[in-house]
């Protein structure tokens, strides 16, 4: 169970009904009354039944290690974790099973084939009972890596990442020619061909040119294909003519493929005058457009006037053919990145954000787009803070907020959860919201309300650098968090051979619940708008508001639920569920 966050806030849930007054001494000022999702309160029994004692903190439902005994082919330190065992993405399926994409470089683990020589791209499937169903390792004697996985409309899986190998699965298809270079890696898997717990890819493809190219994220598209984003330094091959005039070292790009891995189109965003640009995450919206986020190191041209300073977070919207509809930069005067994007399905609270998006990452200063993103008196830590913002469908900033903690790296992702959001990432040092942490980094999971205030959070600590890389919600409401750990023990898992191990953990809905410090009822009455607490000015429709409100207290924050009940007006009976606030 997540620990409540001590943030002063009063919330009434549901759709807007009318003004009301909380007549208890607890809250002296008026609050807005809301319908509780059409809930009918017939008597005090219903309200009392809602006030049930909740259990204390629960353990992870399941934790799975990726990696194991044996010798790793790559040395690993807290500052060099790229090619060790890790879970970079978790895909949850309708039947409760999960597919994990990442990297694997351990030899000799019982029941798992040896890798090809360096790090292999890893794909694993577990069923709903957490039994491993199959494993696939893709690559050659170089270092190869999966960063993301998606399931296509035909039921197959596509994983993307990068490949340094020139042999093995990359023989005769690699685009680069130098051992130190790498291509974008794409592999397709048909699950029906799995045999004895092993699954070989049905097709492997390389993407890019003679420069360094890689994919960060992939999502299935409504037409049966998929879209992927990342970074490219090539000016030839699949990127021929796309960035010939670029002055940056590498550019952000997006590419569309059909179900057979054939490229349909690619678009390069030539946004910076130097250094590197990159796209980390992409989604498809309900209109068939693609929205991707990442960073631009030094915005130029039309973007230069809106640059915030340093490295800026970037969001780009494309139509179905790859044409850029708009490009926006966000951030502060420091270095900022955006790493995850989601459809904004939980705006609520009066926020007008139809067809908008929620984006997460990290920021290093509290100015410009983050001027009001923290509580009064909070100072930005040197390494930056986890950052969440809402933009509308045209890319205009609606609101922005930080989680008051020192980020290790960009927040892994943000996903809608109930009437708010769930975020996961890594932080270091002490945080008023997340608690103590070691200097290297600890994993956290946080529940956010629709306005991004922290409802509750939990940290998972070790003595070394532990990182969250993936976050996904299963159909049953549980959450899966994936990443890698360097602590000697992480949530009961032992570190093998002092090399980083990957992990995937499941949190049940009970784990994600936030237990209130107190629960109680208070009397409530509806009055006409603008009529100050006068009993003679009660609203004619006041009878539809049940006379007890249900209050949950989280530290200094109060969540108030006001209930509706059926009424008869001028001989006409109106049921609570028929009231349209």
Considering only residues 6 and 477, tell me which one the structure prediction assigns the higher pLDDT. 477
Do 182 and 162 meet the contact criterion of CB atoms below 8 Å apart?
yes
Residues sharing a CB contact under 8 Å with residue 407, sequence separation 6 or more, in sequence order:
362, 381, 383, 384, 385, 386, 425, 426, 427, 428
How is residue 382 written in tokens?
A: 């040197």
292 pLDDT exceeds 50?
yes
41 three-class SS: coil
Considering only residues 231 and 56, tell me which one the structure prediction assigns the higher pLDDT. 231
Centroid of chain to Cα 127: 23
Tens-place pLDDT, residues 500-529:
888 899 998 888 888 777 888 888 776 655
Do 297 and 325 meet the contact criterion of CB atoms below 8 Å apart?
no
282 pLDDT exceeds 90?
yes
| Angle (CA) 57 61 64, round 5° | 130
Residue 114 banded pLDDT, cuts 50, 70, 90: low
- d(C-alpha 307, C-alpha 367), whole Å: 13
Instruction: Report the percent of the chain where pLDDT is more than 70.
Output: 73
Tens-place pLDDT, residues 297-353:
877 765 766 778 888 999 999 999 999 999 999 999 998 999 999 998 765 544 444
- d(C-alpha 420, C-alpha 468), whole Å: 20
Do 149 and 181 meet the contact criterion of CB atoms below 8 Å apart?
no
* Mean of pLDDT values over 375-391: 89
- d(C-alpha 322, C-alpha 268), whole Å: 9
Centroid of chain to Cα 523: 39
pLDDT at position 30 is 25
Do 129 and 104 meet the contact criterion of CB atoms below 8 Å apart?
no
pLDDT at position 288 is 93
pLDDT at position 388 is 94
Length, in residues, of the chain: 581
pLDDT at position 382 is 78
Residue 411 banded pLDDT, cuts 50, 70, 90: low
Burial (CB count within 10 angstroms: exposed 0-12, middle 13-18, buried 19+), residue 111: exposed
Residues sharing a CB contact under 8 Å with residue 421, sequence separation 6 or more, in sequence order:
342, 346, 358, 388, 414, 415, 447, 448, 450, 452
Residues sharing a CB contact under 8 Å with residue 369, sequence separation 6 or more, in sequence order:
308, 330, 331, 332, 389, 397, 400
Centroid of chain to Cα 305: 29
Mean pLDDT over all residues of the chain?
Answer: 77
563 pLDDT exceeds 60?
yes
476 HSE (CA, 13 A, CB side): 13
Burial (CB count within 10 angstroms: exposed 0-12, middle 13-18, buried 19+), residue 414: buried
How is residue 3 written in tokens?
A: 């620990």
pLDDT at position 405 is 87
Burial (CB count within 10 angstroms: exposed 0-12, middle 13-18, buried 19+), residue 173: middle
90 pLDDT exceeds 90?
yes
- d(C-alpha 2, C-alpha 21), whole Å: 31
21 HSE (CA, 13 A, CB side): 19
Sheet strands side by side (includes 466-473): 62-66, 501-507, 479-485, 466-473
Instruction: Report the candidate in 141, 135, 180, 181 with the shortest Cα–Cα distance to residue 159.
Output: 135
- d(C-alpha 429, C-alpha 440), whole Å: 8
For the whole model, what pTM was predicted?
0.79
For residue 477, count other CB atoms closer than 10 A to its CB. Answer: 13
pLDDT at position 73 is 44
pLDDT at position 178 is 78
**Tokens 């039309």, located at residue:** 302
pLDDT at position 573 is 74
pLDDT at position 314 is 93
Q: What is the per-residue DSSP string for 522-580? A: EEEEEB-TT--S-GGGB-GGGGGEEEEEEEEEETTEEEEEEEE--EEETTEEE-GGG--
- d(C-alpha 186, C-alpha 189), whole Å: 10
Strands 62-66 and 501-507, by their bridges, are antiparallel
pLDDT at position 22 is 29
Tens-place pLDDT, residues 450-490:
888 888 888 888 888 888 999 999 999 999 999 988 888 88
* Mean of pLDDT values over 414-427: 89
- d(C-alpha 102, C-alpha 125), whole Å: 12
The two counts, helices (H) then strands (E), for the chain are: 2, 40
- d(C-alpha 512, C-alpha 392), whole Å: 28
pLDDT at position 104 is 84
How is residue 54 written in tokens?
A: 């909740």
């Amino acid at each position: 169970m997540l620990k409540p966050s001590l943030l002063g806030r009063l919330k009434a849930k549901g759709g807007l009904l009318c003004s009301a007054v909380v007549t208890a001494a607890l809250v002296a000022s008026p609050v807005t009354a809301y319908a509780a999702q059409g809930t009918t309160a017939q008597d005090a029994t219903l309200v009392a039944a809602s006030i049930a004692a909740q259990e204390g903190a629960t353990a992870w439902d399941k934790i799975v290690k990726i990696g194991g005994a044996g010798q790793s082919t790559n040395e690993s330190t807290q500052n060099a974790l790229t090619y060790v065992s890790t879970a970079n993405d978790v895909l949850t399926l309708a039947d409760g099973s999960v597919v994990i994409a990442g990297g694997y470089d351990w030899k000799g683990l019982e029941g798992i084939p040896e890798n090809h020589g360096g790090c292999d791209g890893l794909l694993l499937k577990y069923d709903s009972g957490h039994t491993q169903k199959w494993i696939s390792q893709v690559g050659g004697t170089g270092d190869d890596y999966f960063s993301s996985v998606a399931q296509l409309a035909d039921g197959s899986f596509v994983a993307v990442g990068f490949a340094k190998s020139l042999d093995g699965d990359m023989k005769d298809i690699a685009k680069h020619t130098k051992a130190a270079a790498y291509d974008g890696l794409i592999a397709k898997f048909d699950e029906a061909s799995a045999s004895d717990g092993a699954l070989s890819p049905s097709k492997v493809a390389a993407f890019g040119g003679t420069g360094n190219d890689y994919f960060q994220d992939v999502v299935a598209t409504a037409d049966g294909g998929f879209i992927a984003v990342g970074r490219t330094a090539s000016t030839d091959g699949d990127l021929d003519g796309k960035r010939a005039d670029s002055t940056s070292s590498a550019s952000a790009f997006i590419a569309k493929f059909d179900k057979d891995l054939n490229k349909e189109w690619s678009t390069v965003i030539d946004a910076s005058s130097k250094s590197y640009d990159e796209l980390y995450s992409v989604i498809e919206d309900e209109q068939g457009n693609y929205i991707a986020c990442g960073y631009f190191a030094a915005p130029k041209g039309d973007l230069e006037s809106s640059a915030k300073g340093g490295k800026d977070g970037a969001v780009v919207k494309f139509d179905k053919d790859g044409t850029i509809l708009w490009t926006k930069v966000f951030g502060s005067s420091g270095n900022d990145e955006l790493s995850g994007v989601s459809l904004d399905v939980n705006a609520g609270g009066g926020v007008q954000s139809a067809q908008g998006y929620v984006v997460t990452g990290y920021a290093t200063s509290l100015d410009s787009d983050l001027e009001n993103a923290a509580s009064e008196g909070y100072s930005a830590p040197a390494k930056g803070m986890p950052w969440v913002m809402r933009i509308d469908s045209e890319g205009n900033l609606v609101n922005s907020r930080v989680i008051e903690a020192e980020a290790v790296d960009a927040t892994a992702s943000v996903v809608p959860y109930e009437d708010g959001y769930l975020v996961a990432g890594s932080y270091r040092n002490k945080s008023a919201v997340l608690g103590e942490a070691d200097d290297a980094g600890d994993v956290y999971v946080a529940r956010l309300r629709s306005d991004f205030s922290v409802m509750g959070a939990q940290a998972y600590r070790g003595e070394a650098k532990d990182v969250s890389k993936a976050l996904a919600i299963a159909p049953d409401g549980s959450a899966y968090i994936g990443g890698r750990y360097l602590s000697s023990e992480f949530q009961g898992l032992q570190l093998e051979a002092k090399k980083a191990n990957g992990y995937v953990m499941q949190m049940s809905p009970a784990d994600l619940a936030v237990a209130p410090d107190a629960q109680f009822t208070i009397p409530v009455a509806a009055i006409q708008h603008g009529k100050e607490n006068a009993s003679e000015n009660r609203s004619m429709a006041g009878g539809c508001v049940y006379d007890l409100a249900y209050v949950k207290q989280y530290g200094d924050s109060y969540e108030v639920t006001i209930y509706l009940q059926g009424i008869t007006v001028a001989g006409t009976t109106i049921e609570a569920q028929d009231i349209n606030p």
